[in-house]
Every structure is written in C-alpha cells, then in structure tokens.
C-alpha cells in the first residue's frame, strides 16, 4: 500500500497533507513514511522465510538518516556499512555491533581498527591485499574477526553501468576463479576467522536471472571450498533488488526473489546474509519541491522547480526516471521539461514528459526518492543542504536540518597571508 496518496484532492504523506509539510518545513525537502519503511522491512523478511537461517543488514548507504536507521534497527535489521562514518551511524541508531557487516574496497587501516574495536559481526574483504592487512592489524590487536571473501562472479547485472558491480572489469571483489586459493591462504591465518563468501553484482536489478547465475557460481564455490576441507558457514548475497521508477518497469517481487534464493541455496547449509537498500527505502521517500516558474521556450516549456540536481542527483548521474506528481492536481496534463535552478544542463529531471499541469507556486513531488536521494545531496552552487522530514501516522518531525550556505561558509577560512 502506498502511503503517499491523494485525499480530498491533496497528496498526503500518511495522514499529513504535503501542503502542510511544505508550509512548516519549506521546500525542497525529503519526506519519508515510517509506515512504508516498516512494511518494506517486514515484507522483505517474510519473503526470505523459505530460505531458512537469514541475517538482514540494511545497506546504510541507501539512506543513512538516523531516524530511518532507528526504525530499521527496531525492525531487527543489522547494518551493511562501507565507512567509519556509516559504522558510527549504525551504532548510534542502536544496531548491535555483532549485526554490522563492513563492506567496501577501500577500508583504511584506521577503519579496520575501528571495526575491530567496536566488535562488528563481519568484515567482507575484497582483495588479497586487504585480507593480509586486516590479518596483521587483527593479530596486533589480539582479535579474530569473522570474515567473508567478496567474490566477483563476472555476471552482467543488466543495470546502469555506473551501478553494476559484478563484472570482471568492476573494482569490486576477487575474481571467483582466484577465490579458492585466497580463501585457503586466509583461512591459515590465526587472526582471521574465515567463515564465508559474499557477492553483490549491482543495484536496481530488474531481473532475477543474473542474480541466480551469480548465486549458482557461489554455490559451486562453496562446494569447492568444502572439498578443500575449508569451513563455509555464512554466505552474504548482498542487495540489488530493483524498485519501479518508470512506468512499465516491473521489478521482481521480494516473494519471487525469496523463492529463487530458497531454491538455489537449498543444499548450502549456511546462514544467509542480505544487504537490501533500495527495496527497503526507495518507495518510502519523496522529494517535495515547489515550481518557481514555468518558462516558455521554443519547444515544450521548462518547469523550473526549487529542487535541483544537488538535492536529487540520480537523474543527472544515471539518467534515472523519477515520477513527477502535482500535490494538488487539477486533472489536466502538459508536456514539459522539468529542470532545477543549478547552472548545469545536467540539472534536468525530465525532458518532453507528459506531467500533471503545474504553474508557478505549485507543489509537486518526485517519487521513489527515499534511497540514494538525500544521501547523495551536495551544496553545489552554494545552495542549502536539503532537509529531511519523517512522517509517522499523524506525527511529523524534522530529522535532518536544512543546512544553509552561511553555516557552510562559517566552516571555511581565508588564510592570514591572503588578507
Ligand atoms: C556491497 C553492497 N551491498 C548492498 C548494496 C545495496 O544495494 P541495493 O540498494 O541495490 O539493495 C550495495 C549497493 O549497490 C552494495 O554495494
Ligand atoms: N547511487 C546509486 C546506487 C549505488 C549503489 C551502491 N552500491 C543509485 O542511486 O542508483
């Protein structure tokens, strides 16, 4: 069920009209629905019931807001983190250290120490170099962290090139053919508890086939490793499940995903781990924006909104589609380009799109902005950092301030010698 719905002609977030939220918090602003987050967390968990022993870790990168993480921690989710900053957020939100998985190709020595001091549940290591470095640091600290080796199965996830991670040319993981030798080498290190394999081939996947192909290769690897007398008790299958953005886009349902996972992993006898991000948070958020003006042009008019590429970067980065919907639709439509005020041609949300008719001063939302939305925001063009609001039934609260350019400027210095 969609928690952003029209009631009496006005789009609401749960029980609150978006007109009211715009009045209170200003625009542009991200609005999250707590009910949607909880429901998605529950649906995903339910979908994986047939797969047996599972550990769910929300991919913090998708939406690191502390209020969002609190909700997911309450739903029993651990956290998949890729930096000390994300690790600290997860801890602050109440995620137990043992439920935290540390992924990423570029963990620094300091970040490894921090993870070890904190007692996180698992490091997913992505190279021989990283494995040796972590072994040395763990030995120094007298620890034996649990480790999964992330493999690169060389499978085409059929998603945007910039969010594909499982092809041989991508920087992620160890080539799957090299995994047996490296796994054996690292298993011999007394300071590492080698316990599993991790895989994540990309994000916004719209077909289960590449996932099934990758998981099949991982299953073969598990057999090979066990055949070598090595222990494999955990397999982390990553995230990646897509969400519908554009009309006609139909991603596999969590239930279909769960059924495929259960079928492919039936004989593995491991604890399965998952790192969902977008499927939990994507549809739980919208970006609310106000039309500054409608500029007539040679072709279709430009609808200039007060949200920009620095607030919602996905269209500029990946040519991504986000539905644009008027908060108080009048039943008419118009063909237009939707653009922000930033001085880049790439600050374009849509071209020649048939949208709800809007005029200067009207409110509208970009849908499906709860994942990789606010977290990718910047202050480019000295714009404010976009704020975030959480709605929970008839409650609403600012969960991330609008950081204005003066605050950013206050953190800058002109050296004495230039004065
Ligand atoms: C290692 C890892 N795990 C999990 C995720 C979350 O992916 P998604 O948001 O597509 O579920 C990502 C991002 O693609 C990732 O790189
Ligand atoms: N930022 C990307 C997803 C990146 C996934 C990171 N592993 C997006 O908005 O689609």
* ipTM of the complex, rounded to two decimals: 0.98
> Which domains are delineated in the chain?
4-32+282-410 (2.40.37.10), 104-274 (3.20.20.10)
Instruction: Please name which of 334, 342, 307, 332 lies closest in space to residue 322, comparing C-alpha atoms.
Output: 307
**Closest listed ligand to the CA of 40:** 1
Alpha helix stretches (DSSP H) within 240-372:
254-264, 278-281, 314-318
Between the CA of 287 and the centroid of ligand 1 the distance, in Å, is: 22
Mutate to test the pocket of ligand 1, among 240, 368, 375 (most ligand atoms within 8 A of CB): 240
Angle between helices 84-92 and 66-74 (to 10 degrees): 60
End-to-end CA distance of the chain: 59
Question: Is residue 370 a known part of a binding site?
Answer: no
Instruction: Please name which of 175, 173, 303 lies closest in space to residue 238, comparing C-alpha atoms.
Output: 173
Strands 4-7 and 333-339: unpaired
Q: How many residues does the chain have?
A: 419
| Cis peptide bond upstream of 184, omega within 30 | no
Determine the 3-state secondary structure of 195 from DSSP. Answer: strand
Residue 59 CB–ligand 1 contact under 6 Å: yes
Mutate to test the pocket of ligand 1, among 208, 277, 278, 317 (most ligand atoms within 8 A of CB): 277
The answer to whether the beta carbons of residues 272 and 54 sit under 8 Å apart is yes
Confidence (pLDDT) at 158: 83
Continuous segment of H or E residues that includes residue 380: none
343 catalytic, yes or no? yes
Question: Is residue 183 a known part of a binding site?
Answer: no
Nearest CA to ligand 1 atom 14: 203
Determine the 3-state secondary structure of 63 from DSSP. Answer: coil
Among 250, 298, 343, 406, the active-site one is 343
Strands 100-102 and 78-81: parallel
Both structure tokens of 197: 């394999």
**Per-residue confidence in pLDDT tens, the chain, 419 aa:** 799 999 999 999 999 999 999 999 999 999 999 999 999 999 999 999 999 999 999 999 999 999 999 999 999 999 999 999 999 999 999 999 999 999 999 999 999 999 999 999 999 999 999 999 999 999 999 999 999 999 999 998 888 888 888 888 889 999 999 999 999 999 999 999 999 999 999 999 999 999 999 999 999 999 999 999 999 999 999 999 999 999 999 999 999 999 999 999 999 999 999 999 999 999 999 999 999 999 999 999 999 999 999 999 999 999 999 999 999 999 999 999 999 999 999 999 999 999 999 999 999 999 999 999 999 999 999 999 999 999 999 999 999 999 999 999 999 999 999 99
């Amino acid at each position: 069920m969609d928690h952003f719905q029209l009631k009496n002609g006005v789009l609401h977030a749960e029980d609150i009209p978006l007109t009211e939220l715009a009045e209170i918090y200003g625009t542009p602003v991200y609005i999250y629905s707590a009910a949607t987050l909880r429901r998605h967390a529950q649906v995903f968990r339910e979908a994986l019931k047939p797969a047996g022993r599972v550990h769910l870790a929300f991919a913090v990168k998708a939406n690191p807001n502390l209020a969002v993480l609190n909700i997911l921690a309450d739903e029993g989710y651990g956290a998949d983190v890729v930096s000390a900053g994300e690790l600290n957020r997860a801890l602050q939100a109440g995620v137990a250290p043992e439920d935290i998985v540390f992924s990423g190709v570029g963990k620094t020595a300091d970040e490894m120490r921090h993870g070890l001091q904190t007692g996180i549940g698992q490091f997913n290591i992505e190279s021989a170099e990283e494995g040796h470095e972590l072994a040395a640091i763990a030995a120094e600290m007298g620890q034996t962290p649990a480790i999964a080796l992330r493999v690169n199965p060389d499978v085409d996830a059929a998603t945007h090139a910039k969010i594909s991670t499982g092809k041989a040319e991508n920087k992620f993981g160890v080539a799957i053919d090299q995994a047996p030798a490296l796994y054996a080498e690292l298993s011999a290190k007394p300071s590492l508890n080698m316990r599993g394999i991790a895989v994540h081939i990309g994000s916004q996947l719209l077909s289960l086939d590449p996932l099934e192909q990758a998981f099949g290769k991982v299953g073969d690897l598990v057999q090979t490793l066990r055949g070598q007398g090595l222990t494999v008790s955990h397999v982390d299958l990553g995230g990646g499940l897509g969400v519908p953005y554009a009309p006609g886009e139909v991603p596999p349902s969590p239930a279909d995903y769960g059924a495929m996972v259960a079928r492919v992993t039936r004989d593995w006898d491991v604890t399965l781990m998952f790192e969902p991000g977008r499927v939990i948070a994507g549809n739980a958020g919208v970006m609310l924006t106000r039309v500054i003006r409608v500029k007539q042009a040679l072709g279709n008019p430009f609808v200039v909104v007060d949200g920009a590429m620095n607030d919602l970067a996905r269209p500029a980065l990946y040519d991504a589609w986000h539905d644009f919907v008027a908060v108080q639709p009048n039943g008419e439509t118009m063909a237009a380009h939707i653009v922000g005020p930033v001085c880049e041609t790439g600050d374009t949300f849509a071209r020649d799109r048939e949208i709800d008719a809007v005029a200067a001063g009207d409110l509208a939302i970009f849908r499906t902005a709860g994942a990789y939305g606010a977290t990718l925001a910047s202050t480019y063009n000295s714009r404010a950092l976009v704020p975030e609001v959480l709605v929970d039934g008839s409650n609403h609260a600012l969960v991330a301030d609008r950081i204005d350019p003066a605050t950013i400027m206050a953190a800058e210095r002109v050296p004495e010698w230039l004065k």
